[in-house]
């Protein structure tokens, strides 16, 4: 975002209209009523599709303490079935990251959190000559420990006490980002309560968190995750228009209301 800001500031001509979406530390909150198989499926898609290089991608998976072990076991088993390789092949699940800088940053990040790594997919010798980053799960003690967006196939897992669900949502809000939030629950009142409390642009209930369809699911965030109206929403296109105002001092032409009304009628 800093590069884009600098380019806009340096350009010649009129100031450009800017509507920014700036990524996020996107969480998925799972309660004990959720279907574990569906949670695992949607977690894989949300965290590792496109090698985790989507602004809406899942970064923080929040699991209830008493079901976390089973879901993590299922998740890591499913991760081992992911095919890492050439993204042009239909069989590939996870391709390389975008460039060398991204690869270096992600590799360094995983190394710095080595003690907290719960699971990491195995890269073979065939991956040595590409910009591949192994899908990785890292355990955190608190949601607040994830202070920035880690743009790649790295998923953080935090456990929470169900009686502290409101506090968990507040902690996620406290990160300052507000792009996407996932909720997995079979209790409608829980989904509604989380959606009402969360400060995010898009909430996805019992589905994955990526692939918003423009015109159907307007997309955009708040806080550190963006500014301006949501893409595909009713206020997006007018934001690019320039509003004009014409003000006339009728007293300057005598203020004759009869003549003015006749003139207006003639124009009509």
Q: Edge-to-edge strand order for the sheet containing 202-205?
A: 117-120, 136-140, 154-160, 58-64, 26-30, 180-184, 202-205
**Number of other CB atoms surrounding residue 67 within 10 Å:** 18
Please tell me what DSSP assigns to residue 149.
-
Q: Map residue 123 onto helix, strand or coil.
A: coil
Rounded CA-CA distance 157/140 in Å is: 6
pLDDT (mean) for 28-39: 98
The pLDDT, as a whole number, for residue 242 is 86
At residue 57, φ and ψ (nearest 5 deg) are -60, 150
- Least confident segment among 92-101, 174-183, 186-195, 223-232: 223-232
Q: Map residue 17 onto helix, strand or coil.
A: coil
Instruction: Read off the pLDDT band of 2 (50, 70, 90).
Output: low
55 is catalytic: yes
The pLDDT, as a whole number, for residue 214 is 72
The pLDDT, as a whole number, for residue 237 is 86
Helices (H), ranges, the chain: 2-10, 36-48, 65-79, 100-112, 165-173, 188-197, 257-267
* pLDDT tops 70 at residue 5: no
The pLDDT, as a whole number, for residue 207 is 96
The pLDDT, as a whole number, for residue 107 is 97
Contact 183, 203 (CB under 8 A): yes
- Kindly state the helix (H) or strand (E) to which residue 226 belongs, with its residue range: strand 226-227
Rounded CA-CA distance 194/240 in Å is: 33
Q: How far from each other are the two terminal CA atoms of the chain, in whole angstroms?
A: 50
The pLDDT, as a whole number, for residue 28 is 98
Residues 6+ apart with CB under 8 A from 145: 158
65 is catalytic: no
Contact 219, 201 (CB under 8 A): yes
Tell me what the pLDDT averaged over the chain comes to: 91
Task: Single out the catalytic residue among 4, 37, 55, 62.
Answer: 55
pLDDT digits 0-9 by tens, 91-127: 999 999 999 999 999 999 999 999 999 999 999 888 8
Task: Single out the catalytic residue among 4, 21, 65, 149.
Answer: 21
Residues in the chain: 268
């Amino acid at each position: 975002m800093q590069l884009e800001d600098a380019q806009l500031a340096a350009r010649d001509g009129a100031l450009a209209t800017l509507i920014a979406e700036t990524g996020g530390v996107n969480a998925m909150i799972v309660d004990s009523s959720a279907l574990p198989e569906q949670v695992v499926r949607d977690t894989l898609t949300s965290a590792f599709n496109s090698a985790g290089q989507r602004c809406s991608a899942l970064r923080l998976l929040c699991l209830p303490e008493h079901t976390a072990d089973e879901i993590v076991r299922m998740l890591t088993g499913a991760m081992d079935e992911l095919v890492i390789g050439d993204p042009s092949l239909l069989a590939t699940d996870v391709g390389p990251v975008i460039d060398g800088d991204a690869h270096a940053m992600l590799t360094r990040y995983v190394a710095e959190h080595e003690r907290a790594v719960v699971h990491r997919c195995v890269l073979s010798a065939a991956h040595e000559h590409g910009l591949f980053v192994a899908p990785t799960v890292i355990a955190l003690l608190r949601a607040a420990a994830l202070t920035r967006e880690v743009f790649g196939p790295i998923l953080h897992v935090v456990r929470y006490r169900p009686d502290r669900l409101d506090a968990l949502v507040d902690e996620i809000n406290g990160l300052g980002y507000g792009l996407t939030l996932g909720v997995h629950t079979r209790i409608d009142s829980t989904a509604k309560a989380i959606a009402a409390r969360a400060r995010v642009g898009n909430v996805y209930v019992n589905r994955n968190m990526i692939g918003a369809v423009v015109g159907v699911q307007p997309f955009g965030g708040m806080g550190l995750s963006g500014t301006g109206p949501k893409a595909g929403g009713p206020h997006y296109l007018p934001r690019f228009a320039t509003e004009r105002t014409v003000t006339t001092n009728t007293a300057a032409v005598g203020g004759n209301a009869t003549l003015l009304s006749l003139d207006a009628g003639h124009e009509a």
